[in-house]
């Protein structure tokens, strides 16, 4: 970049926005301010898996070790089981080099670890963005609390219902998928002594349940995916009904071990699941998007956060090469072109995994579904986990330099 530090506003202090703040500061040398609507960071949430491709990004940023210390590495590969708990396929859990294994993270822990890596005075809490105005040489952002400020550029990391996306780009809204998730965490000390410290999925007709360890195995994350015709808004904090969750997985068609697990749950949250067709552009001038705001995806590939992390480091590499503030718009355009291809693959993979997990009856030959799930393990490892966002960014930059 040029002689003067470029000033960038990152809207949203979630996992994507905070990774972006670290990457833009450490790699592009940019002066970042993060604006988060909540009054406290990382107050709410459940579990997410940080996969090998996301960990590679965190490693490059120098923050992988504290993240791993706050998380839980499972004992080995996960399992896909039928609703009665019979093994269907093993799930990928590490990259081909066996360098990185999936880590289960409690969202508040991940947000807090990332926030500690960002200068305290760069995060402004209690700032809900309401409007954004492109100017001749910058962008003005306006917040509900009356604050207005100008920056050289803006990165919208404000999640599925992004104000940045909707106020400026008029892109299509994410679409409710017809499914909701019951989501929460369980005190792991309540579990039977022989409970497996791995990721487990139970697949039944039209619904599935998954769980895996978090926080040095002190907590267990769970998600019950069930159909719902009520388009619930996505949320980290909408309380759900534990009895309704239990009823979804009751009866003799479900594994008694799973039912015991559910009987231990005392608190759950609702989460409407949204999907998005891949966008054809998500940058306009000096404004761009990152994470869920750019590429909402169903959660079935466990890649939303990981893709936000890949976005963050790619954006930093492209901004580092930008020629002064006047080069920002072009850098954003190039970043978008590169990331759109990758995230579209994950959006499609997530959709496909969801239908494999939930729709037994749609498969004429369930043995073929099972074979696809087994084959999916190689795809997951080679296409998803082995991906190196830094190498991909460097390769793309070389290509652009030749143009």
Ligand X SMILES: Cc1cc2nc3c(=O)[nH]c(=O)nc-3n(C[C@H](O)[C@H](O)[C@H](O)COP(=O)(O)OP(=O)(O)OC[C@H]3O[C@@H](n4cnc5c(N)ncnc54)[C@H](O)[C@@H]3O)c2cc1C
Q: Which residues are catalytic?
A: 212
Q: How far is the CB of 400 from ligand X (least distance, A)?
A: 25
Q: How far is the CB of 323 from ligand X (least distance, A)?
A: 28
Nearer to ligand X, 207 or 397 (CB): 207
- Residue 354 near ligand X by CB under 6 A: no
Q: How far is the CB of 13 from ligand X (least distance, A)?
A: 5
- Residue 16 near ligand X by CB under 6 A: yes
Restricting to residues 308-337, name those near ligand X by CB under 6 A: 308
Q: Cα dihedral sign for 20, 23, 28, 29? A: positive
- Residue 155 near ligand X by CB under 6 A: no
- Residue 156 near ligand X by CB under 6 A: no
Nearer to ligand X, 210 or 397 (CB): 210
Restricting to residues 27-66, name those near ligand X by CB under 6 A: 35-38, 48-49
237-267 b/e with 16+ CB inside 10 Å = b?
A: ebebebeebbebbeeeebbebbeebbeebee
Q: Map tokens 């330099």 to a residue.
A: 401
Q: Is 170 exposed, middle or buried (0-12, 13-18, 19+ CB in 10 A)?
A: exposed
Quick one: DSSP state of residue 229?
S
- Residue 174 near ligand X by CB under 6 A: no
Report the 10 Å Cβ neighbour count for 144: 12
What is the rounded CA–CA span in Å between residue 143 and residue 164? 12
Our separate counts of H helices and E strands in the chain read 12, 19
Helix pair angle (15-26, 107-116), 10° resolution = 20
DSSP assignment of 77-115 equals -EEEEETTS-EEEEEP-B-TTS--B-EEEEHHHHHHHHH
Tell me the site size for ligand X, rule CB under 6 A.
33
- Residue 101 near ligand X by CB under 6 A: no
- Residue 302 near ligand X by CB under 6 A: yes
Q: Map tokens 């990259």 to a residue.
A: 95
- Residue 214 near ligand X by CB under 6 A: no
Among 123, 163, 313, 319, binds ligand X (CB under 6 A): 163
HSE on the CB side for 287, CA within 13 Å? 27
- Residue 14 near ligand X by CB under 6 A: yes
Helix pair angle (389-402, 304-321), 10° resolution = 40
- Residue 184 near ligand X by CB under 6 A: no
- Residue 291 near ligand X by CB under 6 A: yes
Among 71, 159, 174, 184, binds ligand X (CB under 6 A): 159
Q: How far is the CB of 256 from ligand X (least distance, A)?
A: 24
Among 25, 283, 306, 336, binds ligand X (CB under 6 A): 306
Please give the residue whose beta carbon sits closest to ligand X in the complex.
304
Among 56, 68, 165, 183, binds ligand X (CB under 6 A): 183
Q: How far is CA 393 from CA 51, 97, 346, in A?
A: 19, 21, 17
| Residues at the site binding ligand X, with contacts judged by CB under 6 A | 11-17, 35-38, 48-49, 127-129, 157-159, 163, 181, 183, 223, 271, 291-292, 299, 302-306, 308
């Amino acid at each position: 970049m040029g002689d003067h530090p470029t000033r960038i506003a990152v809207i949203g202090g979630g996992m994507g926005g905070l990774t972006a703040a670290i990457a833009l500061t450490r790699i592009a040398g940019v002066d970042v301010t993060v604006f988060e609507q909540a009054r406290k960071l990382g107050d709410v949430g459940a579990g997410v898996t940080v996969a090998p491709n996301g960990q590679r990004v965190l490693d490059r940023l120098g923050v992988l070790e504290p993240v791993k210390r706050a998380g839980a590495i499972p004992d080995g590969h996960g399992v896909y089981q039928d609703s009665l708990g019979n093994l269907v396929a093993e799930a990928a859990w590490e990259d081909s080099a066996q360098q990185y294994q999936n880590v289960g993270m409690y969202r508040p822990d991940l947000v807090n670890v990332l926030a500690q890596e960002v200068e305290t005075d760069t995060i402004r809490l209690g700032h809900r963005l309401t409007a954004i105005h492109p100017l001749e040489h910058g962008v003005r952002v306006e917040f509900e609390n009356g604050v207005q400020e100008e920056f050289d550029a803006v990165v919208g990391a404000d999640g599925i219902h992004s104000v940045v996306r909707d106020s400026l780009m008029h892109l299509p809204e994410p679409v409710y998928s017809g499914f909701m998730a019951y989501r929460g965490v369980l005190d792991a000390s309540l579990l039977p002594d022989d409970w497996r410290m791995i990721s487990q999925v139970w697949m039944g007709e039209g619904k599935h349940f998954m769980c895996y360890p978090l926080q040095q195995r002190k907590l267990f994350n769970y998600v019950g995916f069930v159909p719902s015709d009520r388009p619930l808004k996505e949320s980290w904090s909408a309380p759900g009904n534990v009895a309704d969750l239990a009823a979804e997985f009751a009866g003799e068609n479900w594994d008694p071990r799973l039912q015991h697990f559910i009987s231990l749950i005392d608190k759950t949250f609702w989460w409407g699941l949204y999907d998005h067709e891949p966008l054809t552009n998500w940058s306009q001038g000096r404004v761009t998007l990152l994470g869920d705001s750019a590429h909402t995806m169903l959660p079935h590939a466990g890649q939303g956060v990981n893709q936000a992390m890949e976005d963050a480091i790619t954006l930093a590499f492209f901004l580092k090469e930008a020629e002064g503030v006047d080069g920002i718009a072009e850098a954003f355009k190039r970043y978008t072109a590169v990331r759109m291809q990758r995230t579209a693959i994950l959006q499609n993979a997530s959709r496909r995994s969801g239908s494999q997990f939930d729709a037994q009856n749609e498969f004429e030959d369930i043995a073929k579904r099972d074979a696809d799930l087994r084959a999916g393990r190689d795809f997951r490892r080679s296409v998803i986990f082995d991906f190196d966002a830094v190498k991909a960014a460097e390769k793309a930059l070389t290509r652009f330099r030749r143009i």
